Chains A and B, each alone.
Chain A
């Protein structure tokens, strides 16, 4: 597996979200595209700074919900009209108002599961290994109180020494090289 050897990228650590956003904005502005920010809580401004404006979780959720609706309403209709017709007090076999409630519940069920699992799938999770976990400062701070900017090695602008200097301009706590 030749393509996953060597350097993953350079990781700069910041103390405040404000510094991270300034650095991310500058890097994105000067043409970096293979970059990501890591924060201990959602920082919308950082996502905006690296050009990540919208995601497709809601679309997946909508499609899932409609599938749930169709699946349950279809099942109810098929079971009550075709598979197992029962005359209950002379009511029509296709008594659709009564079918609304389970169909409604399954709309929510499928939409919710699609949103949750769709979000995980689009995020590429679960991913038990990631090169960034090789950095002790990342393990110590990324999920607690530090803010990280990673410029990745597969960006055409990447050069180990120059990128390191470039990141040090932003006044980070540290800049470390992360290997696969």
Chain B
């Protein structure tokens, strides 16, 4: 489709095979290693990094203040009350978890499908997952108001009160889904880092660097026997993370779908939540990748083709999301349930109807009309702006689901409204700061692109048969 009008002598096309290159030509094992490890091992931290870190950590400071005040005063400082007892906390929780899902999709599902272009972006997409899960996991915990008691509310352990949690509740399933997701994401990310930490240990010029990277590389020395077990473990982790990531957002959607509330009680939720998660997650990867490749000069490794491919994934998942929205409207009519159809009318035209319009504009109209054009998909600035639009839209999707289903339920006498307080906004803003702070620390101290996986993709890694010359001219 898109290959028709490719110009001749395009450097991104391998002249020998006619295949699309994922990495710009001219790199060697040494040059990619140098390029990626130098970002971390340099003693000179770019000024821009400090600037970004200062802003991000100040915003993260707001979170500290907001959470401290919350623990002192209780959840009454938030706007949650009847009828909207689930406010920003669950909206932000679902939003952050959804963002995390693209990291797992890139690292696990695309690995199983042998999509080698993912190798450049999987490390920082996984880091994004991890930090997004940190931000997400915080909300249900602080939502309990007294998180030091949440241990026996959430986890089954033999306590002195002889209490056990209620395993029939989707909220309990959530605990296991999200905690498993956090642990497996961390393990997958760390296992992926081990060989690169070995490289960092060997390339580090400082004693401290050699010690610290040495300890965390666990003594990795690249034996092929180790590599084969390592590859098996990576594939197994990918194979396990794939059903896991699908189950996590499915279980989260059960929090809603199992309730008998118009607007929540629907079977379309699991697939549409998962698709929405991937949609917003890819948008977040683009939000992060575009400035990083520019700032660190990584255009050779994170190429326009990566952005193009991610845009295509967004286009596909965007349409699944659009189908989900369409089905909700269709079922409101087709079910002939007056509660369902009132909920949908109220969602579109009620006092909070503006949020539905924002959602449709940001998630459907703007992205799904523009992502068809190759020129726009390959324009990093446009994709960066679009990714912000999509994530705004995805936040509003959760807002619409949570708030507009709750604030006008079956009994008009119990109708109310929802108006977030400054502490709601401060907590949400604070998690954005925390996420950015963690991410900046990651790109400063760890290799953000997996060096060992980039080496596999270089032409030098091809094993030559005996008939071919070992060294090419200029090798």
A125 x B227 contact (CB < 8 A) = no
With a cutoff of 8 Å between Cβ atoms, the chain B residues found around residue A118 in the complex are 233
| B199 surroundings in chain A (CB, below 8 A) | 40, 143-144
**Docked complex Cα distance between A59 and B231 (Å):** 14
B107 interfacial by beta-carbon distance below 8 Å: no
Q: Quick one: which of B156, B170, B221 contacts A142, CB cutoff 8 A?
A: B221
Q: Does B187 contact A (CB under 8 A)?
A: yes
B243 touches A91 (CB 8 A): no
Q: Once the chains are docked, how many angstroms separate the CA of A18 from the CA of B469?
A: 10
Nearest chain B residue, comparing its CB with the CB of A14: B470
- The residue in chain B whose Cβ has the minimal distance to the Cβ of A91 is B168
CA distance A144 to B222 in the complex (A): 10
Q: Which chain A positions have C-beta within 8 A of B173?
A: 101-102, 105
Q: How far is the CB of B22 from chain A (nearest CB, A)?
A: 15
Q: Among residues 191 to 240 in chain B, which have CB atoms less than 8 Å away from a CB atom of chain A?
A: 191, 195, 198-199, 201-203, 214-215, 218-233, 236-237, 240
Interface residue stretch chosen among B28-36, B75-83, B90-98:
B28-36
Cα(A140)–Cα(B48), bound, Å? 31
Residues of A102-133 at the interface with B, using a CB-CB cut-off of 8 Å, are 102, 104-106, 108-109, 111-113, 115-116, 118-120, 122-123, 125-130, 132-133
Closest to B183 in A: A109
Residue B420 lies at the interface, judged by CB distance under 8 Å to chain A: no
CB of B247 within 8 Å of the partner chain: yes
- Give which listed residue, A42, A75, A76, A127, contacts B227 with CB less than 8 A: A42
Which chain B residues border A52 with CB–CB below 8 Å? 224-225, 228
Find B461's partner among A41, A102, A133, A140 (CB 8 Å cutoff): A41
Chain A residues 19-51 with CB under 8 Å of chain B are 19, 21-22, 36-47, 50
Report the separation of the CA atoms of residues A117 and B182 in the bound assembly, to the nearest whole angstrom.
17
CB pair A128 B240 closer than 8 Å: no
| Complex alpha-carbon distance, A111 and B187, angstroms | 12
| Cα-based distance from A144 to B233 in the complex (angstroms) | 22
Judge whether A1 is part of the interface by a CB distance below 8 angstroms. no
B28 CB contact (under 8 Å) in A125, A142, A145: A145
Check: B177 CB closer than 8 A to any chain A CB: yes
Please encode chain B, from 450 to 464, with 1 for each CB lying within 8 Å of some chain A CB and 0 for all others: 001101100011011
Which of A2-10, A82-90, A157-165 is found at the contact surface with chain B? A82-90
Evaluate contact between A111 and B224: CB separation under 8 angstroms: no
Q: How far is the CA of A126 from the CA of B226 in the complex (A)?
A: 12
User: What is the 8 Å Cβ interface bit string for chain A, positions 37-71, against chain B (1 contact, 0 not)?
Assistant: 11111111111001010010110010001000000
Q: Which residues of chain B have C-beta atoms less than 8 A from A115's C-beta?
A: 232-233, 236-237, 240
A121 to B455, CA, bound (A): 26
- The stretch of B159-167, B315-323, B330-338, B430-438 in contact with A is B159-167
Find out whether the CB atom of B240 lies under 8 angstroms from the CB atom of A42: no
Q: How far is the CA of A122 from the CA of B223 in the complex (A)?
A: 12
Q: Which of B223, B233, B452 contacts A119 (CB 8 A)?
A: B233
Cross-chain contact A144 with B29 (CB below 8 angstroms): yes
In the complex, whether B251 has a CB less than 8 A from a CB of chain A is yes
A102 and B184 contacting across the interface, CB-CB below 8 Å: no
Q: A16 near B: Cβ within 8 Å?
A: yes
Q: Could you say which of A61, A99, A122 contacts B236, with CB atoms under 8 Å apart?
A: A61
CB distance from B73 to the nearest CB of A (A): 33
Q: Tell me whether B180 is interfacial, beta carbon within 8 Å.
A: yes
Contact A98 B221 (CB under 8 A): no
In the assembly, what is the distance between CA of A2 and CA of B223, in Å? 25
Give the distance in Å from the alpha carbon of A143 to the alpha carbon of B193 in the complex: 13
A32 to chain B, nearest CB (A): 14
- A42 in contact with B231 (CB, 8 Å): yes
Is the pair B251, A57 in contact by a Cβ cutoff of 8 Å? Answer: no
Given A42-B231, A143-B199, decide whether A19 and B470 contact each other with a Cβ distance below 8 A.
Answer: yes
Given the known inter-chain contacts A41-B456, A126-B218, please indicate yes or no for A18 contacting B198, CB distance below 8 A.
Answer: no
A173 within 8 A of B: no
Pull 11 A–B residue pairs with CB atoms less than 8 Å apart, ordered by A. A52-B224, A79-B156, A80-B164, A88-B168, A105-B180, A109-B180, A115-B236, A119-B233, A142-B202, A144-B203, A145-B30
A-B interface, 5 closest residue pairs, ranked by CB to CB distance from nearest = A145-B29, A126-B218, A119-B233, A79-B164, A84-B164
